[in-house]
Structure 1
């Protein structure tokens, strides 16, 4: 079965069939419970409410399948780590072949990620994981490999300093931490799964990293668009108990090159004309800002519809 038929079959298996005459756009996401799935669901809901765009959220097993879906024209949009998108277009890293049909649409928000542990562990920083177990493998979610490599580096550790416990994908990794199979789990700040685990184990905590120039060079050697950001406690940021430094990247909205310009422009109008409603529905999306959404990234081309949207709004591309 070729990749197009495989991805189409996956979408149909998820019950996403619609009448042949319906004009439906899909947003490819990781499984339910992930931050991107939640964000996409909020944005798609706003599109259905405030425009004539008919949008569905279509979960896949991981980033590679999401990017393949866009490249093959099976899905229209996706949220992703800009580093992964750059790798996908170039055919580098986890991608054995280039995916030339991916286009940037907009910078959405900064995306802090980390390793988190049970509160009862007593650990507070990544350096405390020396000799402890960390999820590895990630055959179903390979993007996590580079992210955890960077997080460990920012804590002064390498994979050789920890015990590696294979996990297949994001949701399973957190479940394995809750069950005690592994000491730590990887997730994005604000992820619904983190709140679920927090409730089930009596509290969780994200581990802090050391944000300095030396460690910045280390994480950017892993992925060039990584940076550090300080995250303050908030109700939606379960596991963040005081201002904490995190390895961070930019979340970007992507589209396939097959998506019509007007469709891209309409979708961007929905997002940036309804920032308050979207941010109320999911607080991490309060970072949406049209003034900072048109950011250039190495090796990643913008969709012509996005270029036209920002030019019409008087927004110049930033570095």
Structure 2
């Protein structure tokens, strides 16, 4: 795994400060995300836009090459916020899985929404279920987006397959993976439901569909062997959910807002006010964020802590923070 060169990061940060007016612009904060076109980049852009519109926050979106880079940006005080799979945050903090160094400065702020993911194909492929991928090609490698390895492992398991049952075609990251599927280099692509890139590919190839999985106790145990916080959720068709042709079960995780320990409590609380008090405006700009719900925004997770600014916000708003029974 290639983490960002710290000297390069420091240089870029210094250049940004100088070109934007030096110390007078130091209050600009950033959201680290994957590349443009990804769901997290879209979500961060919508939230940041609302923050600028409804408050005096100067919040901008800064894309990086993948999860490791965007988590390191927050850990190293080069970004204030990010969005990520809670499982990936847990492994980043502990320095396990795809991470070869600990990132102890990451804190959870809030559970944002459930995040269903899947493998999708061209509609004219004739495939409708993950099990149909036996002997077909599936994107692998993911050197710039290693989180995808565990997610696809879980999706294949939920379809009764393993990596040994498919033809592995290396791709570096999300956007390239979808482009390679569109061009015919690989038979399937991995993405989150509602991702703008899925809609783009759908328009370019004449239609796409997500492949179904078997959601039962046996497959639940299989996906939780991969990541303990995975679960199944049922997704209904909707215009924004391109490729969802009927009510379908998807491998799902909790998507969380992350902040660094360097971010002041007041700034964390201010962004939380934007997210939960301006929920309707945010959901209007990006419907999947309609799942935002203050009452379900706190959930205990193993191996990670909440930012103290978030804890104070939840307490002030009367959110139940009692341990799950």
TM-score, normalised via structure 1 length: 0.97
Tell me how far 1:311 sits from its aligned partner.
Answer: 0.3
2:238 counterpart residue number: 234
> Secondary structure of the residue that 2:153 maps to in structure 1?
helix
Match of 1:5 in 2: 7
Within-5 A mapping of 1:14-29: 18-20=20-22, 21-22=24-25, 23-29=27-33
* Structure-2 residue corresponding to 1:175: 179
Query: Using the alignment, how far apart are the partners of 2:300 and 2:314 within structure 1?
Result: 13
Q: Which residue of 2 aligns with 1:220?
A: 224
How far off is 1:97 after superposition?
1.1
**How many Å separate the matches in 1 of 2:17 and 2:175?**
21
Q: Give the superposition deviation at 1:7.
A: 3.0
Question: Residue 194 of structure 2 corresponds to which residue in structure 1?
Answer: 190
CA distance, structure 1, for counterparts of residue 53 and residue 141 of structure 2: 40
Shift of 1:16: 11
Deviation for aligned residue 1:32 = 0.2
Using a 3 Å threshold, how does the CA distance of structure 1 residues 17 and 149 change in structure 2: closer, same or farther? farther
What pairs with 1:103-252 in structure 2 (closer than 5 Å)?
A: 103-252=107-256
Separation in 2 of the partners of 1:221 and 1:14?
A: 43
Segments of 5+ residues of structure 2 without an aligned counterpart are none
Matched, 1:61 2:65: yes
Secondary structure at the aligned position of 2:269 is classed as helix
**Alignment partner, residue 51 of structure 2:** 47
Gaps of 5+ in 1: none
- Alpha-carbon spacing, 1:161–1:295, altered in 2? closer, same or farther (3 Å): same
Cα shift at 1:146: 0.3
Which whole-Å deviations, capped at 9, do the CAs of 1:60-102 have from their partners, x for residues lacking one? 0000001100110000000000000000001100001110000
Give deviations 1:238-274, integer Å, cap 9, x for gaps: 0001001100001000000000000001110111100
How many residues are treated as equivalent by the alignment? 319
**What secondary structure sits across from 2:42 in the alignment?**
helix
- Taking the aligned partners of 2:267 and 2:296, their CA distance within structure 1 comes to 21
Q: How far apart, in 2, do the equivalents of 1:251 and 1:36 lie?
A: 9
